[in-house]
Structure 1
Amino acid sequence: MRAPGFWHREPGFVSALLSPLGTVYAGATRRRLAQGPRVRVGVPVICVGNLNAGGTGKTPAVIALAERLRDRGVAAHAVSRGHGGSLTGPVLVDERRHSAAQTGDEPLLLAAFLPTWVAQDRAEGARSAVAAGAQVIVLDDGFQNPGLAHDLSVIVVDAHIGFGNGRVIPAGPLREPVGAGLARADLVLSIGDETGQARFADRWGAAVPVPLVTGRLEPLPTGLPIKSLKVLAFAGIGHPEKFFRTLAAMGADIRATHALSDHQPLSDTLMTRMLREARAMGAQVVTTEKDAVRLPPALRSQVMTVPVRLRLEDWGPVDAGLDRVLAARGTP
């Protein structure tokens, strides 16, 4: 399902009409968050969440944090609900044994970088991770979940989109009002290019009461001949156009694009159709890492994957947050 266009425009008639339902949704979120007390599991919990429904760049942010913690010699485990997967957990994801249909695509991707647990009950997932040796839990999403206490909360936002029209679902893209959400946050991470960052700062900068960290997604050098390559690109992420812009910036000759729904299953029928279309125009099918883990195994060799990594302009505020929570919990 694609987000309605009015979610990302200045509030108008439709968003005003739906605003009372947004108030109901926000109230439900507020009541859920009031449940407590939240569970502590004996190690720091870093929540990488968002205020927007849909993708903002949480998965690259989790990977970047995991690598930062690894460089400090800290054993971090990720915990995720596994959106779209069939497992209820707690289950430690095994890339060799599990499929995206079981775990969800994000946990399967994360498992290549750090031990990753799928658990419908995040507190149970965190306990299992600690029992397996985790010194820090990196929570993939869960900012609006009341089950687990957070020691550091990072709100990730797409710089180009910001917080949309500032309204709560269904009047806008937000899970809760901006003020209420950022009041519980420790950091805001805005991901995007210079144009997007300027737009976010102009529209939302004054509303951010915590340190604002900026970063961008950069293609990982793989040696693949992407420049001038004729491609058919598809993406089933929160905002597929971000991937298409990345390919264009890399110099790819984009002949066709297919924007799929976030987490959309990649059936044999769908992939056969796109591969046939690509062959007819002499193009290579290209997709994201997150989509690649959902590909039918027999077709993976026919699709080129373009990985990206998050690069921060300044790690200082993030490192300061990590120092604080690790010192408070006695973690090295």
Structure 2
Amino acid sequence: MSAEREGAAPSPRLIVVSGMSGSGKSIALHTFEDLDFYCVDNLPAELLPEFVRGAIGKSDLPPKLAVGIDVRSRNTDLSNLPTLLSQAGALGMDPKLVFFDASDGVLLKRYAETRRRHPLSHLGLTLNEAIALERRMLKPLRAMADILIDTSDTNVHQMRRRVIAELDLTSERPVSLLFESFAYRRGVPSDADFVFDARCLPNPHWDARLRPLSGRDREVREYLDAQPEVGEYVAQVSSFLDTWMPRIQADTRSYITVAFGCTGGKHRSVYLAETFAAHARDHGWREVATYHRELE
């Protein structure tokens, strides 16, 4: 399994997410949250420097902050945002304004599909009128944006990839790997991305000495290590995962679950989950865990 790319220590970052309602700002903030940013949506713009000041110094790591500021900030003069961003920069942050947009036709369609109210509908405007007013109000922010992302022709997954690429966040995206063992008689885990059946392998259950033990125990591991079929199985599954897990990582996934099942979920599946977790750690994956459903 190819390792996640190790980058330099992250610098302090402040990303201000703004743009048209329905253009994908919430998806962007969820993406940043998956990248370990501390996210706040609908922050009154005038509170931005105070928010940054409060976040600095509360962690041993440089802060990574993402804030949603848009027309929902009532009684706020958005034209002051450049000054507020400068104040945040003076506190040691690297502020970036990312503006999300989409065509009026796409926004109308999205509102029709979700049936959500436009944030300016309280003014008694039609949806068309609210979109037009919002576009006028946000025109100065759009003009000053560091990054402009038009989501008219993108789906959710494409949007996440675009956010990560535009902001060069690939090296900051941790992917958590979970290797899980289970018993088929209790069903396949519903959250598994990959499921491998180990029932074809020699079963330690039939050895009275090994029956009380689990795949975590040295005696069981030595028994399975000595079986040629197990070595062949591990080699072929390793080749498969080495090829495909990095590609799933590149598809903006934040976690991957690989499940191994056997009859009782005690010996073979546990052995394999532990074996592949060790393999992943040896190949540089940083966030690796195991879960043995029938032993927990």
Q: TM-score range by the shorter chain?
A: 0.3 to 0.5
Higher helix share: 2
The two structures have a TM-score, normalised by structure 1, of 0.30
Query: Comparing both chains, which one has the higher relative contact order based on Cα–Cα distances under 8 Å and sequence gaps of 6 or more?
Result: 2
**Rg: which structure is higher?**
2
